[in-house]
Amino acid sequence: MRALLVAAPLLGHLFPLVPLADALRTAGHEVRLASAGAAATDAGVAVDDLLPGFRYEPIARRATLRHPFRARAERSDPAGTVTRFAEINRRLRAPLTDLVSSFAPQIVVYEPSAPVAAAVAAEHALPAVLHEISLREGRPLAAAVLARLGTVAGTDPIGTFTVAPPSLVGDRPGWPMRYVPYAAAGDVPGWLREPPPDRPRILVTRPTAPSRRDRLMAAVLTAAARLDAEIVLIRPDRRLMTRPLPDNARWVEWVPLPSALRTAAAVVHHGGAGTMLTALALGVPQLVPAEPGDRGYHAALLADRGAGLTVTTPDQIDPGTLDRLLADPALHTAVAEVRAEIAAMPAPATLIDRLTALT
C-alpha cells in the first residue's frame, strides 16, 4: 500500500504523524510524509517539501491583518485559527495535487489543519482518513477550513484516528490510537540525561510555532528563585539567554522533548497539544496558563481531569504553585492514571489493518 500523510507546515503538527508513518514502513508499506517550512526541513525524517522556503509567521500575520476582526474572534474559539490555516491550505493545494499525481497513493492521511489533503484526495477518488493530533475534535476545524476555501463536497474523512484520552474528552467517534511521543533526534547534554541527585527538575518550554518574548519563562524564574528545584529553560528567547539566572536555573538550546521529560519531575509550558500529550503519555505533571484559543481549551480539560494545574496568566505563577506541581498527591495520582490509560490505547502498528481495508 502507498500511503501519503499530510501535515500543516508546523513541527507540532507533523510530529504526531511520524509514529504512524514509521509503523506503516515497518509493516512493508510505501509511505511519504508531506508538509512545508520547518516541518519539512527540521523534522528528523524524510518529508516532501511542498513549499520550499515557506515561513509560517509572515503568512499567518498577513492573513490576520487581512481579516483582523475574524482572526480576533477566532483567538477565543477552541476550533482554532481558521483564517490562518485557510490561507496556508490554499497555498498547499497545487503542490499537493502534483505530489498525489506523481506518487499515486492509495490512501491519504491528514491532520485537522491540513484538510486540503482531503479535497485533493476526493479529486483523485482516494480514501482519506483524519488523524487527530490534540485534545480537540478534529472534524470541526477541518470542515471550517475547507468551507473557507469553498471546498466541502466529498471531503468528509472515511475514518478518524483519535489520540485524546477518553477520561479527558469523553468518548468520541473514531478509532482510538495511542499517542506516541516523537521529536527529531538531537544532542541531549549528559547532565540532562539523568535526574538531578538532590532535587527535582522542572522543565520550562516554548511553543514549536514561532513566538515572541516569553512571559512564561520569566514568571517561572521569578517564582522559582528560592525553590529547592532545578529549573531548566528549553530554547529560551535571547533576552533570557543574556540575563543572569538564579543559581538553581540553567538553559539549553533545542533538545528532543521526550528525552528531556523522562528525567523531569514536572513541566511548565504554553498548552500546545504536542507537549501536553507527550507529558501525559510519560506521566509528567504539568502547569499550563489558560491562554486564548486551543491552548486554553487544553488547559481546562487538563485541570478538570486533575492531571495538571492551570493559571489564568503567567504572572499568577508563584512558589506555592510550583510546590504543588511537584508534591500534590492527588495530582500525581491523576497523572499516573492518565499515563496508564494512554498506554492501554491501541498502538499505531495495531491499526494499520484499518487503512489497508480501505484501499
Task: For 215-232, give the DSSP string.
Answer: HHHHHHHHHHTTSSSEEE
Residues β-bridged to residue 310 = 288
Mean pLDDT of 84-99: 96
Tell me, what DSSP letter sits at residue 192?
G
List the grid coordinates of 263. 528525567
Task: Go through 315-326 and write b for each residue having 16 or more CB atoms within 10 A of its CB, e for each that does not.
Answer: eebeeebbeebb
pLDDT higher than threshold 50 for residue 131:
yes
Give the CA angle between residues 53, 111, 290 to the nearest 5°.
95
pLDDT given at position 214: 73
pLDDT at 359 over 90: yes
Q: What is the pTM of this model?
A: 0.92
Phi and psi, residue 35, nearest 5°: -165, -150
pLDDT for the residue 215 = 86
DSSP state of 10: S
Per-residue pLDDT at 306? 97
Residue spans of the domains in the chain: they are: 2-162, 190-343
Question: Where residue 67 falls among pLDDT bands split at 50, 70, 90?
Answer: low
Neighbours of 82 (CB within 10 A): 24
The CATH architecture one would assign to domain 2-162 is 3-Layer(aba) Sandwich (3.40)
In angstroms, the CA 116 to CA 19 distance is 22
Q: Buried b / exposed e across 222-248, counting CB within 10 Å, b at 16+?
A: ebbeebebbbbbbbbeeebeeeeeeeb
pLDDT band at residue 78 using 50, 70 and 90 as cut-offs = very low
Tell me if 85 sits within 8 A of 133, measured CB to CB.
no
Residue 186 grid coordinates? 538531537
pLDDT at 333 over 90: yes
Please spell the DSSP secondary structure of 315-353, one letter per residue: GG--HHHHHHHHH-HHHHHHHHHHHHHHHHSPPGGGGHH
Q: Residue 84's pLDDT band (boundaries 50, 70, 90)?
A: confident
Give residue 151's pLDDT: 84
Q: Is the pLDDT of residue 26 over 90?
A: yes
Residue 28, phi then psi, degrees to nearest 5: 95, 10
Cα–chain-centroid distance for residue 352? Answer: 22
Q: What percent of the chain has pLDDT over 70?
A: 92
- Greater model confidence, 74 or 104: 104
User: For all residues of the chain together, what is the average pLDDT?
Assistant: 92
Judge if 2-162 and 190-343 fold alike in CATH terms.
yes
The pLDDT of residue 207: 77
For the beta carbon of residue 163, count every other beta carbon within 10 angstroms.
Answer: 24
For the cut 60, the answer to whether the pLDDT of residue 79 exceeds it is no
Are 322 and 220 in contact by the 8 Å Cβ rule? The answer is: yes
The pLDDT, as a whole number, for residue 69 is 55
- Answer whether 130's CB lies under 8 Å from 116's CB: no
Q: Which CATH number is associated with domain 190-343?
A: 3.40.50.2000
pLDDT of residue 212: 52
Alpha carbon distance 202, 182 (integer Å): 20
Phi, psi for 94 (deg, rounded to 5): -65, -50
> Does 205 have pLDDT greater than 90?
yes
C-alpha–C-alpha distance, residues 45 and 51, integer Å: 17
Query: What is the rounded average pLDDT of the residues 259-271?
Result: 96
Give the helix ranges, DSSP H, for the chain. 11-14, 18-26, 38-41, 56-66, 68-74, 82-103, 116-123, 138-148, 166-169, 215-224, 238-242, 257-261, 273-282, 294-305, 319-327, 329-344, 352-356
At 218-234, the pLDDT tens digits run: 999 999 988 999 999 99
Q: Determine the Cα–Cα distance for residues 315 and 288; give it in Å rounded to an integer.
A: 12
- The yes-or-no verdict on residue 324 having pLDDT over 70 is yes
